[in-house]
């Protein structure tokens, strides 16, 4: 068994399995996520504190389209199988994108499902997340990276029902600077003379008022932080309004929400945002509103 303080992980994503009363913890688990990718692992536990593992759930074949930057795996049950949305750095053009993997089991193995990344090939993109709308149409929400556009964007694109491809053109939901709380950020690995605004880790959630909320991360005074936006229309395409202040400011983020087995709402995130000190944090929260 390992405890949370012993697990180095970024972008934690929890899948509660009610039949087994077990939590499956996925995330970016390479010791140096900026370098060569090993794959993805899962930790399995009953109480969000003590975990078995890590167990490998994805290891690339030699023909895989990426060797570096294996980031932010998210796992969803959809039409009887499990689908993993994850970010990879492409070999062919050295740009990041989100691809879809598939497995019949939560513990894998996950195998490539889409034909490489399904985000636009010419874009630096990351952190794709699945949303199924009121008409049961699947969408992917993702970030168009600040390293390419300066002012990071969050976009949405419809997907085919088999989750293999996109089914239209990406729509811009909003830019990071449109929210009142992020501040300009200078990344130590990307020295530029202009101010950049970051978008990271989108995650969709409907609260008890049936509001469609979007969690996402950026930087505030050079510390990683987590904010919330709300779709005024209730549809994925918005328009979106932003909570004035972030909900987490202690150098943590890339959050997601889930219900524990006592039906408490939990926020999962990593903090601090400095490698190799990232650890999973699970915070019980009240119902979120904007």
Q: Using alpha carbons only, give the angle 184, 254, 127 rounded to the nearest 5 degrees.
A: 90
Q: What is the mean pLDDT of the chain?
A: 96
DSSP 146: H
Q: How many C-beta atoms lie closer than 10 Å to residue 35's C-beta?
A: 12
The answer to whether the beta carbons of residues 225 and 248 sit under 8 Å apart is yes
Give the residue among 228, 244, 229, 234 at the shortest CA–CA distance from 212: 234
Domains belonging to the chain, first-starting first, are: 2-284 (2.115.10.20)
Of 130, 137, 135, nearest to 102 by C-alpha is: 130
Task: Strands of the chain (E only): list them.
Answer: 2-3, 10-17, 22-28, 40-45, 50-58, 66-78, 81-90, 96-103, 111-112, 125-132, 138-144, 153-158, 171-175, 200-206, 212-220, 223-231, 240-242, 253-259, 265-271, 279-284
Q: What is the mean pLDDT of residues 206-216?
A: 96
| Angle of CA points 141, 281, 95, to nearest 5° | 35
> pLDDT digits over 106-130, tens only?
999 999 999 999 999 999 999 999 9
Per-residue pLDDT of 29-77, as tens digits, reads 999 999 999 999 999 999 999 999 999 999 999 999 999 999 999 999 9
> In degrees to the nearest 10, what's the CA dihedral of 276, 277, 278, 284?
170
For 149-194, what is each residue's pLDDT tens digit?
999 999 999 999 999 999 999 999 999 999 999 999 876 666 655 6
Task: Give the angle subtended at the CA of 182 by the CAs of 178 and 187, to the nearest 5°.
Answer: 120
Mean pLDDT of the region 215-239:
97
Q: Are 68 and 38 in contact (CB under 8 A)?
A: no
**CB contact burial 210-228 (16+ within 10 A = b; e otherwise):** ebbbbbbbbbbeebbbbbb
């Amino acid at each position: 068994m390992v405890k949370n303080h012993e697990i180095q992980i970024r972008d934690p994503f929890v899948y509660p399995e009610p039949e087994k009363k077990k939590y499956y913890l996925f995330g970016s688990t390479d010791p140096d996520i900026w370098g060569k990718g090993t794959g993805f692992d899962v930790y399995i536990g009953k109480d969000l504190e003590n975990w078995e593992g890590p167990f490998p759930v994805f290891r690339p074949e030699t023909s895989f389209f990426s060797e570096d930057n294996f980031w932010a795996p998210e796992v969803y049950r959809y039409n009887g199988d499990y689908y993993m949305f994850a970010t990879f750095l492409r070999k062919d053009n050295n740009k990041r994108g989100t691809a879809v993997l598939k497995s019949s089991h939560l513990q894998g193995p996950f195998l490539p499902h889409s034909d490489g990344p399904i985000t636009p090939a010419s874009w630096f993109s990351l952190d794709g997340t699945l949303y199924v709308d009121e008409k049961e149409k699947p969408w992917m929400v993702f970030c168009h990276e600040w390293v390419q556009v300066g002012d990071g964007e969050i976009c949405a694109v419809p997907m085919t029902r088999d989750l293999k491809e996109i089914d239209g053109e990406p729509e811009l939901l909003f830019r990071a600077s449109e929210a009142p709380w992020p501040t300009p950020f200078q990344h130590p690995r990307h020295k530029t003379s202009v101010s950049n605004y970051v978008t990271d880790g989108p995650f969709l959630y409907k609260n008890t008022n049936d509001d469609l909320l979007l969690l996402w991360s950026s930087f505030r005074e050079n510390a990683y932080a987590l904010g919330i936006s709300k779709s005024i229309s209730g549809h994925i395409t918005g328009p979106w309004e932003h909570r004035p202040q972030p909900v987490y400011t202690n150098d943590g983020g890339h959050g997601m929400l889930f219900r524990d087995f006592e039906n408490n709402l939990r926020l999962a995130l990593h903090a601090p945002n400095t490698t190799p000190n990232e650890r999973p944090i699970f915070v019980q929260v009240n119902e979120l509103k904007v």
